[in-house]
Structure 1
Amino acid sequence: MSTQEAMVNAFIEGAAELDEATAVMIAQRKALLGPAYRLMYERPLHFVRGEGVWLYDPDGNAYLDAYNNVTSIGHCHPKVVEAIREQVGILATNTRYLHGAVLAYAKRLLATMPDEVEHLMFTCTGSDANDLAIRIAQSHTGGEGIIVTETAYHGITQAVSEFSPSLGENVNLGAHVRTVPAPDSYRVDNVAEEFTAGVNAAIADLKRHGIKPALFICDGIFASDGVFDGPRGFLKGAVDAIHAAGGLYIADEVQSGFARTGEAMWGFQRHDVIPDIVTMGKPMGNGFPVAGVAARAEVLAEFGKKARYFNTFGGNAVAVAAASAVLDVIEGENLLENSRVIGLYLKDGFQALARKHACLGDIRGAGLFLGVEIVSDRAGKTPDAAAATRIINGLRDENVLISGCAKAANVLKIRPPIVFSRENADELIEKLDRVLHRLS
């Protein structure tokens, strides 16, 4: 199987009939951009405009976006747009000059985290943030070993791709990387015990090979592994294990942060653990490239003595204006509560559908990040990737966007903008029901 075929919800050339305009654009894209890029859906989509929870194609057809977490507070949110427009007309320069807005934002963001997390450094992307985070962790611990879940995604830089197993078998994991099974609450009775045992086994294997453990990193919702949200507190044993081995716990909040999971601003807060390092990106600027690394002071101290960090664009005044506007909107529009309430409403709706459609297995997630397990046999909990692909593309034909994830590629990944309304949720539920009826 090729890398493209192995991707969840990937366009596979020749697998579906395309209209002429789409086929021409795909050919041009391939000729101009080369072979490494990927497209989504059996019949890829062309969008020219976004607003709120909607994306629009060239003919003006609206698609309900229940997938893109980059523009987490909605496409082209006017407050973010205006903040960027205003600041780019005043000053846009690197962070080697003093700027009050940068300091004000850092103080404001750190106030949302545990008191132990005292410093914030800026990058442009989540990949940059995780790259910087592992440099800091390895400097502090003197170790190299990294532990991740077996279908994790943490970024695309050389260093970070080495511990992003979801990139596929053709992207090699580093010799210093160990993977542990995802915390599969659908199939495992005692998730905390088994996950802790997995991390301890990975630590032991690193040591057996003469590699000192440096860090355990995971995202707070295990997004690529299949969207696993709990039980609450199950991470504590794994965090204690890496600390006992002299390593650090890095909370990758690129996907689960900024009010996404509904109960708290950050995904790790649902598990009653305090990270040594927190990384963030994507929704931080609602599409504008800004990301960050927050860390305990003692963790950052050694790196600060030995290394000079500089990022031309990371955390410049325009980026900070966008990021500040995002926090304004989350607070001003009460989006943490909206994520919680609408997430529960969606989950209830999916559970109601599961009583009608046998292919829907486990319904899980937190806030507006949900996973729906598609199975061919509920009793055996047998993953059905083919059915999941048909459902995802069936919803695409109903003008609703979701995607898939998990090691078995059978979990519907649903993460709409956190401005999603009850009316939006009803449309998603209704159209999913329609697709399931049609495919049954």
Structure 2
Amino acid sequence: MNTQTPQGEVRQILEMNAFKPGDTKAEAVERRLANLGAASVLFYRQPIEMVAAQGAWMIARDGTRYLDFYNNVPSVGHSHPRVVEAVATQIGKLNTNTRYIVAIVDEYLEALKSHLPAALSNVVMTCSGSEANDLAIRVARAATGGTGIIVTETAYHGNTALVTETSPSALKRGSLPDHVIAVPPPSAGHFGNDIAGGFRASIEAAIAEFGRRGIRPAALLADSIFSSDGIFADPAGFLRPAVEAMRAAGGLFIADEVQPGFARTGEAFWGFARHGVTPDLVTMGKPMGNGFPMAGMAAKPEHLASFCTDVGYFNTFGGNPVAAAAGLAVLDVIREQGLQQNALETGRLLLDGLRDIAASEPRVAEVRGAGLFIGVDLAEEETGRPDADLTVRVIDAMRDQGVLIGAAGRYGATLKVRPPLCLNQAEAEQFLSAFRAAIRS
């Protein structure tokens, strides 16, 4: 039986607390708008001009230091010296495409594969998570003969034409095409105490709807911590029945690890591993190069072969030696500095601290997450409805205290907590202090 939490107004996440025409414009902002036009997305109504960053900190032109709880791209820390050295050394030596054999590329691929399920022994390198998800959908369609894709209702998987169709949160108007169905996220608000059973039932209902439309399913595409939906991590294992339902219908499971991957959840290197499932395809991006643009897709050889028989794939910059050097340095740093364990331990400190605040602050409706990926729902005290306006005020108040954070969720009322994996205990305590003051201001 489904239960429903009070609902609010659906919000476009990128438009929340963002610069809008008519806000006060600094010279640097005017310059950006003149260059990017309508495609410009700037955080905060008064954008920040950044000039440097180190570890978990970013520094603005006016000298203000900000604790970064928003950007999960520099996952091992901004400007990490090991990554900087690896990139500088390799670009001074050789940078070319994968039509040539360059040892560091295969060294990286083998190091990456050591973290992946053995069956996913082929890796295709791209430059962005969007490209990786685009390719994964095409491979799934070639392998299954189907076209239907199931996603969650506020999912974001990228910005190519194909992947935008599977990213409901990116659509400002219109509806999803017939070959894409969005289901509710795996939350207690939708499925009560049986999240695993309810989520599976929603997948089965989508498959049945595809049948009525005359569409064969190709894949369930899911970010395995459901970050854009509001961060849904528990109970561990809830994803497995949904994957089984998709496979029973002849489809595949694409695990989008662009946000939860690379040790962020603490308990496992990948978000899907917390659920005890082996995906058919894994997509990766954002934290792979700690800011250097690189991404990839891991697949079973037979699935990739079914796609390459008809089309093939080559990416000029994907898998270049400099990217491989950056990626290898990231893997080394995660291992040598114990960042997965740090994500687990520091994440628990954050979760415990946030839940302590929630116990005495009724506007903090729920705290969820795993490792250093946490969602904090904010709500109206009287009604329990998601409160996006409060969320914006909290984001602004935390900025005033030198902490950067963003929003997520269908109603824009979930704070998305995802600091660098190098976050230390003192920095976690500083965040908790800033949040406590912001929610009570």
Of 95, 100, 104, which residue of structure 2 is paired with 1:97? 100
Q: How much has 1:3 moved relative to structure 2? A: 8.9
TM-score of the aligned structures, taking structure 1 as reference length:
0.95
The DSSP-based 3-state class of the residue aligned with 1:35 is: helix
Of 233, 236, 239, which residue of structure 2 is paired with 1:235? 239
Aligned partner of 1:353: which letter? I
Identity in percent: 48
Aligned partner of 2:119: which letter? E
Q: How much has 1:355 moved relative to structure 2? A: 2.2
Counting only pairs closer than 5 Å after superposition, residues 78-117 of structure 1 correspond to structure 2 as: 78-117=81-120
Counting only pairs closer than 5 Å after superposition, residues 3-402 of structure 1 correspond to structure 2 as: 7-14=15-22, 18=24, 22-170=25-173, 172-186=175-189, 188-377=192-381, 381-402=384-405
In the alignment, the residues of structure 2 paired with residue 289 and residue 149 of structure 1 have an alpha-carbon distance, to the nearest angstrom, of 26
CA deviation string 1:386-430 (max 9, x = no partner): 111110111111110000010011001110001000000010001
Aligned partner of 2:318: which letter? G
The DSSP-based 3-state class of the residue aligned with 1:117 is: coil
Q: Does the 8 A contact of 1:56 with 1:62 survive in 2?
A: yes
In the alignment, the residues of structure 2 paired with residue 2 and residue 345 of structure 1 have an alpha-carbon distance, to the nearest angstrom, of 31
Q: Does the 8 A contact of 1:162 with 1:171 survive in 2?
A: no
Aligned partner of 1:7: which letter? E
Q: Does the 8 A contact of 2:10 with 2:410 survive in 1?
A: no
In the alignment, the residues of structure 2 paired with residue 358 and residue 390 of structure 1 have an alpha-carbon distance, to the nearest angstrom, of 16
CA deviation string 1:109-144 (max 9, x = no partner): 111112221111100000010011111111111111
Q: Are the structure 2 counterparts of residues 171 and 330 from structure 1 closer, same or farther at C-alpha, using a change threshold of 3 Å?
A: farther
In the alignment, the residues of structure 2 paired with residue 84 and residue 99 of structure 1 have an alpha-carbon distance, to the nearest angstrom, of 15
CA deviation string 1:149-175 (max 9, x = no partner): 000000000110010011133365332
The DSSP-based 3-state class of the residue aligned with 1:236 is: helix
Q: Does the 8 A contact of 1:5 with 1:12 survive in 2?
A: no
In the alignment, the residues of structure 2 paired with residue 65 and residue 259 of structure 1 have an alpha-carbon distance, to the nearest angstrom, of 18
Q: Are the structure 2 counterparts of residues 315 and 70 from structure 1 closer, same or farther at C-alpha, using a change threshold of 3 Å?
A: same
Q: How much has 1:84 moved relative to structure 2? A: 0.3
Q: How much has 1:27 moved relative to structure 2? A: 2.2
Partner of 1:425: 428
Q: How much has 1:146 moved relative to structure 2? A: 0.5
The DSSP-based 3-state class of the residue aligned with 1:170 is: coil
Partner of 1:434: 437
Q: Does the 8 A contact of 1:3 with 1:168 survive in 2?
A: no
Q: Does the 8 A contact of 1:4 with 1:38 survive in 2?
A: no
In the alignment, the residues of structure 2 paired with residue 31 and residue 90 of structure 1 have an alpha-carbon distance, to the nearest angstrom, of 37
Aligned partner of 2:313: which letter? Y
Q: How much has 1:23 moved relative to structure 2? A: 2.6
In the alignment, the residues of structure 2 paired with residue 259 and residue 226 of structure 1 have an alpha-carbon distance, to the nearest angstrom, of 19
Q: Which has the higher contact order (CA 8 A, sep 6+)?
A: 2
CA deviation string 1:78-113 (max 9, x = no partner): 000000000001100111111221112111111111
Q: How much has 1:6 moved relative to structure 2? A: 7.3
Q: Are the structure 2 counterparts of residues 347 and 326 from structure 1 closer, same or farther at C-alpha, using a change threshold of 3 Å?
A: same
Structure 1: unaligned runs, 5 residues or longer: none
Q: How much has 1:39 moved relative to structure 2? A: 1.3
In the alignment, the residues of structure 2 paired with residue 3 and residue 415 of structure 1 have an alpha-carbon distance, to the nearest angstrom, of 20
CA deviation string 1:250-272 (max 9, x = no partner): 00000000001000110000001
In the alignment, the residues of structure 1 paired with residue 218 and residue 43 of structure 2 have an alpha-carbon distance, to the nearest angstrom, of 35
Compute the RMSD of aligned alpha carbons: 1.7
Q: How much has 1:43 moved relative to structure 2? A: 2.0
TM-score of the aligned structures, taking structure 2 as reference length:
0.95
In the alignment, the residues of structure 1 paired with residue 430 and residue 261 of structure 2 have an alpha-carbon distance, to the nearest angstrom, of 26
The DSSP-based 3-state class of the residue aligned with 1:63 is: strand
The DSSP-based 3-state class of the residue aligned with 2:159 is: coil
Q: Does the 8 A contact of 2:183 with 2:202 survive in 1?
A: yes
In the alignment, the residues of structure 1 paired with residue 130 and residue 160 of structure 2 have an alpha-carbon distance, to the nearest angstrom, of 6
The DSSP-based 3-state class of the residue aligned with 1:370 is: strand
In the alignment, the residues of structure 2 paired with residue 171 and residue 38 of structure 1 have an alpha-carbon distance, to the nearest angstrom, of 21
The total of aligned residue pairs comes to 432
In the alignment, the residues of structure 1 paired with residue 410 and residue 113 of structure 2 have an alpha-carbon distance, to the nearest angstrom, of 34
